[in-house]
Structure 1
């Protein structure tokens, strides 16, 4: 079923390469895709530019973290399912461990300097989300029809709120996309003409799709029945991962809408973790480890680490299962204008969801006065000048600490 699945050397090679990338890939999802192309198309020649473009198009089509899904698919092609798991683990674990350590230390650090660092990072988060909304609007809502979908989506998301409001917005965006773009939508990339060359069979793909749907349906029932924090976290994180379109920047909005996270975690701490994640290499979805560890801030370190692991796996799992499930059928799907129109409408709605999150809670909590407004503006200017995000976060934290002393 999987090409190269029985070659341990390929699995170890894949893990080692992605572990290095997980430690050095700063800059967010778009930068990650550039690192991957340089490593696997140019240097190692694991696949051609056209094949890589098709993988990227597929992962942008699906909910979930696009860069991590591309890495998972590259590992799948190279060394089967063990290689795919090794690629995901290597790319994810460095940032996840750092986010876990940040969460474990968040409840023990206090005082005016710590409060200042928090304010500085929250102000930087304002700049990061503002830039993300602007960039996504240019690429995902470039015309009148999609811009209209994004504006309506933002209004509805602000009025309704919560995870169900976001789901309604995404579904409405998909329907509006079919209605407004159905005749003009075109696939993002050429279809794959040889499904039999893909590294997973259709039987395995259908099993993955069935598992993805079953978990989405059953986890809420299990969480409600057992009333255990681990199942509540798994349910919320899995649902968030299944509904995140548009990349890692939207993960803040989805987790902030889930009561399992928003209830026990203050919005300031959620925004702080999101801002800090910008300074780390690897996927932004590692933010889930931070959120999971804060769900039970008074628990033991092993218990909190366990919740972090549950949140981390659960938020990635739906996107990876959907990738496995859709991969063999992608050639046919991306030839259908209706599918392309629905996804373009949903992606435009994502811009609205992120814009709503920018207003509340990001702007509300990130700009509390003239000083934090100045930090946010300077951070936005620095990001527009292509200063590395990690450096902007560190500078913002330093500014916040300095302001707290003055």
Structure 2
């Protein structure tokens, strides 16, 4: 690697330690550091790469950074970029899961997290608001969002989500003629990374069904979810809650919400919630098993998006000319925002319904909407209140 590559990885580490606020905030920081200061790429190139990652399943800001690494130094630098970006949050969330297990093994209650749980619901509600204001562009989009919210609220099977996403994309894809025609499309596809993606998926599914070993089953679960999530980490939350809390009951709702609240206090990718879930799902296998579960969760959720970006970036310039691709995004995004709206309601159900918790949700939403108070401050305040107020 060249000196420029090492400097780039140092910049990625700076982002991993300072980029709070989710994908939109991450991209804004990339503009400032990677475009304006370092000039690794132009503003137009970053906008286009981010647009590409928005139409692919997986963590959009992670894929954008990985794609920049790929353009600068090929696959090797891209994989290093991915590791540098996710490792800080991975370490913290794994430690959080180990701490939760330690407390439970000593019969120490998680009651001190009681205030950060409604705060976490406020974060999800705010995410639903932000996503809907950015991606809903028509009455069709509003309709898809409402229908998606209702269906994902009442039908909580993990397989409902991909069906809704595909259906939403199909509804708006029909209106592709509303988009301008792009001439000179010459699509040449290299299939190696897509074949690798499918091979890993099939291998994990087969090994999991044969061995029944939870670490492999977890990897397959997260890998499948990683192929189905459009719209960033907020959309991932309802999928994880349905599968791992309601369906498989690996975590309690209290543990889930506490972990999500911890995540809001961290910089880096929202998808880093998965090592926390993976570690708690393996708590019966000791500390070594929990670390293995954390690794399985992290690898499972991040690999599909990485394979997809490696696959698509080679022919992106031609793919984006197709009107059907552009048109389908509106439906996919509208359905995604509906899922997050439903998630805010679902996540509140396990919390005791009283005026205090409702007020905390509303106040959190209002603070995020009308002030610039950083999310970590709200989480720390919630923890302090839980520790010192009886």
> Structures share a fold, TM > 0.5?
yes
Moved more, 26-35 or 8-17: 8-17
Aligned residue in 2 for 1:24: 18
Q: How does 1:111-122 map to 2 (within 5 A)?
A: 115-122=110-117
Aligned residue in 1 for 2:200: 215
Aligned residue in 2 for 1:56: 50
Q: How does 1:224-243 map to 2 (within 5 A)?
A: 224-243=209-228
Structure 1 position 402, deviation (Å): 4.1
Q: How does 1:352-391 map to 2 (within 5 A)?
A: 352-360=338-346, 362-366=347-351, 368-384=353-369, 385-391=371-377
Q: Which runs of 5+ in 1 are unaligned?
A: 1-6, 196-200
Per-residue CA deviation, residues 107-148 of structure 1 (Å, 9 max, x unaligned), is 222699953432211111111111111111111223211110
Q: Which runs of 5+ in 2 are unaligned?
A: none
Following the alignment from structure 2 to structure 1, what is the Cα–Cα distance between the partners of residues 63 and 360? 34
Aligned residue in 2 for 1:4: none
Structure 1 position 222, deviation (Å): 2.4
Moved more, 153-162 or 211-220: 211-220
Aligned residue in 2 for 1:198: none
Per-residue CA deviation, residues 267-326 of structure 1 (Å, 9 max, x unaligned), is 221121112101101101111110110012132212211110111011011111111111
Q: Aligned with 1:162: secondary structure?
A: coil
Following the alignment from structure 1 to structure 2, what is the Cα–Cα distance between the partners of residues 48 and 193? 24
Q: Assess if the C-alpha contact under 8 Å between 1:246 and 1:350 holds in 2.
A: yes
Aligned residue in 2 for 1:73: 67
Q: How does 1:233-382 map to 2 (within 5 A)?
A: 233-259=218-244, 262-360=248-346, 362-366=347-351, 368-382=353-367
Following the alignment from structure 1 to structure 2, what is the Cα–Cα distance between the partners of residues 262 and 275? 21
Following the alignment from structure 2 to structure 1, what is the Cα–Cα distance between the partners of residues 192 and 291? 30
1:99 and 2:93 matched: yes
Aligned residue in 2 for 1:141: 136
Following the alignment from structure 2 to structure 1, what is the Cα–Cα distance between the partners of residues 108 and 17? 28
Following the alignment from structure 1 to structure 2, what is the Cα–Cα distance between the partners of residues 125 and 262? 22
Query: When the two structures are superposed, what TM-score results if normalisation uses the length of structure 2?
Result: 0.92
Q: 1:56 to 1:193 in 2, by over 3 A?
A: farther
Q: Assess if the C-alpha contact under 8 Å between 2:283 and 2:289 holds in 1.
A: no
Structure 1 position 226, deviation (Å): 1.4
Aligned residue in 2 for 1:34: 28
Following the alignment from structure 1 to structure 2, what is the Cα–Cα distance between the partners of residues 54 and 392? 34
Following the alignment from structure 2 to structure 1, what is the Cα–Cα distance between the partners of residues 384 and 172? 44
Q: 1:116 to 1:382 in 2, by over 3 A?
A: farther
Q: Aligned with 2:349: secondary structure?
A: helix
Query: When the two structures are superposed, what TM-score results if normalisation uses the length of structure 1?
Result: 0.89
Following the alignment from structure 2 to structure 1, what is the Cα–Cα distance between the partners of residues 342 and 30? 31
Structure 1 position 263, deviation (Å): 2.3
Decide which of 158, 161, 186 is 1:163's aligned counterpart.
Answer: 158
Moved more, 365-374 or 253-262: 253-262
Q: Assess if the C-alpha contact under 8 Å between 2:27 and 2:61 holds in 1.
A: yes
Q: 1:14 to 1:154 in 2, by over 3 A?
A: same
Aligned residue in 2 for 1:175: 170
Considering only aligned residues, what root-mean-square deviation do their CA atoms show, in Å? 2.5
